[in-house]
Chain A
Amino acid sequence: MERWLRGWQPFALMVVVLVAAPFAVYPVLLMKALCFALFACAFNLLLGQVGLLSFGHAMFFGVAAYASADLAKEWGLGTVPAIALATLLSAVLGLVVGAIAIRRQGIYFAMITLGLAQMVYFLCLRAESLTGGENGVQAVPRGTLLGAVDLGANLPMYFFVLAVFLASFGVIARATHSPFGEVLRAIREHEPRATSLGYEVNRFKLVAFVLSAALTGLAGATKAFVFQLASLTDAHWQTSGEVVLMTLLGGMGRTYGPIFGAFLIVVLEHYLADFGGWVTVLRGAIFVLCVLAFRQGIAGTAMSFMRRGPGVHQR
């Protein structure tokens, strides 16, 4: 069963569902879910594989959103170059933040990333000429795909976002199921052992951090074009908390888990948007429930259910 889940079949199933989805569901909602799914997958690369809990990933999401919005709106760059440059910027930020944060482990790492993200948040709040302060950068033109396809309409934009998501998912899956990924898991399981085997642990952590930051930036930059808006919310600690929630609910360290989590949370919040404060209470309650009773998340629980299911006698 597990081998089956690692193969191409579940991926093909996901592609079919996602290609058909916009004809049944409002595409903007789906695009939001895809951006957050990419965000959660990038976050999960760090938490699930290396065991590093970043509580500040919103800084990469937010900074990349601002960068791509400014590049497209003020500098007149095309959609694809703007997203590419914003992703690169996010990777550079990831290099700086990662180099500082990996100096401590475990819970310290979470507090440090949270602190650095709060610093970036205040910088965004202050740099009004670039970020528009409380207003954000509004009316970002969606532009065209390499001058050929107009992305103003929702359906072409959806397939563009889907392509970005699938490509990034491929990158993450490739990194996870490679010798590089094996080393990352070795570090997660027992860091001193990985060190004593001769691996430069910090270099591996840093590479994983930069990769995660870059893909998070890619998600943020794409999101800025979907909503034609980059705002302070993107860089706020609550967004960092939200991606942790998505990953926890979906299943930490599971390939498809964060995608389930992201879709579930985005859809849930879409339908509960009118209830204001209840959404915060609900998020908190899901956190508490997941930690106390549902630590494997949706994907993990589904896996162990299938393993125990009729006719399957592996392990």
Chain B
Amino acid sequence: MQALFSQLLVGLINGSFYALLSLGLAIIFGLLNVINFAHGALYTCGAFAAWLLLEHAGVGYWPSLVLAPLLVGLLGVAIERSMLRRLYREDPLYGLLLTFGLALITQGAFSLRFGSSGQPYQIPSALQGATDLGFVVLPNYRAWVVLCSVAVCGAVWFQIERTRLGALLRAATENPTLVRAFGVNVPRMITLTYGAGAALAALAGVLAAPIYRVSPLMGADQIIVVFAVVVIGGMGSIFGSIVSGFALGLVEGMTRVVYPEGSDTVVFVLMALVLIFKPAGLFGKAA
């Protein structure tokens, strides 16, 4: 029983990252129609930004939690303004190829500078230790990650589905030309959306830094699973991407108890099953 709960806990942690990452992917895809292959690289950038801020400027975890997403968000804005912008009129495949190239550049550059073994990052002192809940021992930092992810996902969902800005965003997703005719600066909205998606990825990276080591490859393998999560959830839905992120993390954790050999393939098997029975994804609209 202890094993089941602790694996479910690990699953919930992974699910927190899946949810944050697939949420960012869904927002970017909605407005830009680009599958952001660089999302894993931006997540890595977030973790490295936190680590570099600590090593070279003595900036601790809490300021980094805001600063790193801000910096990576600016990087996202620069990427959109300088490169992605040129591709909107082309086949969407080019966006995928461009961001794949950017991911390779980032990954290679980090390996050159910092080696591929990874750097440790200390858990902030306020969150060290663990709480015994009776049925499972819960490390405080992990509890914080789950809470933080739920709160951020909830806030983003509220922002998009329940506010005026979100309404404009959804309208621009449906029909950018019409929204522009109403005097909304859609290109700027697109730029900021990509920046926000990048910042979300970086936030996940900072949260992940104390749990996994800060390494150049930390995002690359993560992003492939997140793609599968996105296919399962269906691209259209913000809510769907959050729910399927958490759910698949839990399923993965459960698999680790029942059939450990299958834990790294279960998400992909589920993806195949969903495609056979509901090709549009669990929350997606039929294409």
Report chain A residues within 8 Å CB of B112: 276-278, 281
Closest to B264 in A: A122
Which of A119, A241, A277, A291 has a CB less than 8 Å from the CB of B109? Answer: A277
The secondary structure that dominates the B interface is helix
Complex interface: stretch among A31-39, A65-73, A99-107, A261-269: A99-107
Interface string of B215-230 (1 = CB under 8 A from A): 0000000001101101
What's the A-B contact tally at a CB cutoff of 8 Å? 120
Contact between A291 and B101, CB atoms less than 8 A apart: yes
The reply to whether the CB of B83 lies closer than 8 angstroms to some CB of chain A is: yes
Task: Determine how close the nearest CB of chain B comes to the CB of A53; give it in whole angstroms.
Answer: 5
The reply to whether the CB of B231 lies closer than 8 angstroms to some CB of chain A is: yes
The reply to whether the CB of B118 lies closer than 8 angstroms to some CB of chain A is: no
Contact A279 B108, CB 8 Å, known A119-B268, A285-B101: yes
Interface string of A55-75 (1 = CB under 8 A from B): 000000000000000000000
Q: Count A interface residues, CB 8 Å.
A: 41
Closest to B94 in A: A291
Report chain B residues within 8 Å CB of A104: 231, 275, 279, 287
The reply to whether the CB of B100 lies closer than 8 angstroms to some CB of chain A is: yes
The reply to whether the CB of A164 lies closer than 8 angstroms to some CB of chain B is: no
Contact between B275 and A112, CB atoms less than 8 A apart: yes
Closest to B261 in A: A126
Contact between A288 and B271, CB atoms less than 8 A apart: no
Task: Determine how close the nearest CB of chain B comes to the CB of A232; give it in whole angstroms.
Answer: 13
Give Cα distance in the complex from A112 to B272, angstroms: 8
Give Cα distance in the complex from A95 to B268, angstroms: 17
Contact between B228 and A111, CB atoms less than 8 A apart: yes
> Which residues of B pack against A, CB within 8 Å?
35, 83, 86-87, 90, 92-94, 96-98, 100-109, 111-112, 224-225, 227-228, 230-231, 235, 261, 264-265, 267-269, 271-272, 275-276, 279, 287
**Extra inter-chain contacts (10) besides given A108-B235, A284-B104, CB under 8 Å:** A53-B96, A108-B231, A110-B93, A115-B267, A118-B268, A276-B111, A280-B111, A281-B112, A284-B100, A291-B97
